[in-house]
């Protein structure tokens, strides 16, 4: 077996919330493995969020970074001369190869993530994003910008979290033609609808989901279908080669689903789920699906069924969210970037 070529990748991390911290912890736990198996030494040289920043060209001490965040609620206490740099200053001023964008999704103007991603690609940085906002509003133009600047734009964690939905459709079904697909792409609404099927009202099920931390700070992102619509945009562009944005999605959320609707569906062995579908149209809406349909998963699970020209239907299910799950998708993208960089250097 050929020995892996060592690659040190300097990373700027945008956002240090649940996902950003989970990624830092993942790097700490996997450092020896990444070096031994993949020849990869990730080095986080800068981190910034809305509460402060920390930077070191030699690489930040991740244990200390996590300790400061836990103790003070921010990373301002991490002492170095570059600690006051804002996000764009850091992206434009530091030497790095990769930007990882984990700030919250914003479906109005996609900021601040949009500016971070655009600035990074214009500077020649590869980008990994789990922020769906920029992709939902400007997927086609961002792909064009990445191509123009000869950088990679990776986003496998934006759909399915740690479940490799995008990779499966693009790589495992290579050589096949996907005709259409439909899926449960939002774990929060699936959890609420599952509890409504168990007898709770919408209001009670929503309150329970909030208590467990499943609901976005802006509940409309989940309840009114924005999150599912954003994921549908990403899937439609990436898998079906469409050129669409969130404005092209016909979207209906679950606010008007009643216990009566749920009981009526159950009477003929069906459940109501928030389904995102790509057929002739792009639609997100609550629909009945049969209980024995492999896509009919419960709780916070996600599921998607691809309809292929020759292979028929394939369904993939898994957890769609979670800090460590999403962090694992970032690491998967980082390994892909390393592999492609090594391939280009050898060529």
Q: Catalogue the active-site residues.
A: 231
Three-class DSSP category at 11:
strand
Any known ligand binding at 20?
yes
Residue with tokens 């391939």: 343
Residue with tokens 């984990």: 102
Instruction: Find out whether 193 and 273 touch, Cβ atoms under 8 Å.
Output: yes
Q: How far is CA 162 from the centre of its chain?
A: 8
Any known ligand binding at 262?
no
Any known ligand binding at 213?
no
Any known ligand binding at 16?
yes
Q: Give the H/E segment covering residue 88.
A: helix 87-93
Report the first-to-last Cα separation within the chain, whole angstroms. Answer: 19
Instruction: Find out whether 306 and 181 touch, Cβ atoms under 8 Å.
Output: yes
Any known ligand binding at 175?
no
Instruction: Find out whether 187 and 302 touch, Cβ atoms under 8 Å.
Output: yes
CA distance 250 to 78: 46
Q: Smallest Cα–Cα separation from 314: which of 298, 294, 296?
A: 294
Any known ligand binding at 101?
no
Per the DSSP assignment, residues forming a β-bridge with 182 are 277, 305
Any known ligand binding at 23?
no
Any known ligand binding at 19?
yes
**Residue set of the binding site for L-homoserine:** 216
**Residue set of the binding site for NADP(+):** 15-20
**Residue set of the binding site:** 15-20, 132, 216
């Amino acid at each position: 077996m050929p020995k892996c070529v060592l690659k040190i990748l300097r990373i700027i991390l945008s956002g240090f919330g649940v996902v950003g911290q989970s990624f830092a912890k993942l790097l700490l736990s996997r450092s020896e493995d990444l070096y031994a198996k993949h020849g990869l030494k990730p080095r986080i040289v800068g981190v910034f969020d809305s509460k402060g920043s920390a930077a070191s060209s030699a690489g930040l001490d991740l244990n200390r970074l996590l300790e400061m965040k836990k103790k003070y609620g921010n990373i301002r206490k991490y002492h170095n001369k570059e600690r006051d740099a804002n996000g764009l200053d850091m992206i434009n001023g530091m030497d790095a190869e990769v930007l990882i964008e984990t700030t919250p999704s914003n479906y109005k103007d996609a900021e601040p993530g949009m500016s971070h991603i655009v600035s990074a690609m214009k500077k020649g940085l590869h980008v990994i994003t789990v922020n769906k906002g920029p992709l939902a509003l400007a997927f086609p133009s961002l792909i064009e910008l990445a191509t123009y600047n000869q950088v990679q734009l990776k986003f496998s964690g934006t759909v399915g979290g740690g479940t490799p939905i995008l990779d499966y459709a693009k790589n495992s079904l290579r050589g096949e033609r996907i005709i259409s697909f439909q899926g449960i792409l939002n774990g929060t609404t699936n959890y609420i609808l599952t509890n409504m099927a168990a007898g709770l009202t919408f209001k009670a099920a929503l309150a329970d989901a909030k208590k467990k931390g499943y609901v976005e700070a802006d509940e409309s992102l989940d309840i009114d279908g924005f999150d599912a619509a954003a994921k549908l945009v990403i899937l439609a562009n990436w898998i079906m080669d469409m050129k669409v944005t969130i404005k092209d999605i016909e979207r209906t959320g679950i606010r008007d689903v009643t216990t009566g609707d749920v009981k009526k569906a159950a009477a003929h062995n069906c459940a109501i789920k928030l389904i995102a579908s790509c057929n002739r149209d792009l639609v997100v809406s609550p629909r009945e699906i049969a209980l024995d349909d492999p896509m009919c998963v419960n709780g916070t699970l996600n599921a998607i069924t691809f309809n292929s020209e020759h292979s028929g239907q394939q369904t993939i299910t898994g957890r769609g969210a979670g800090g460590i799950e999403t962090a694992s998708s970032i690491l998967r993208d980082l390994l892909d970037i390393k592999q492609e960089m090594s391939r280009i250097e050898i060529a």
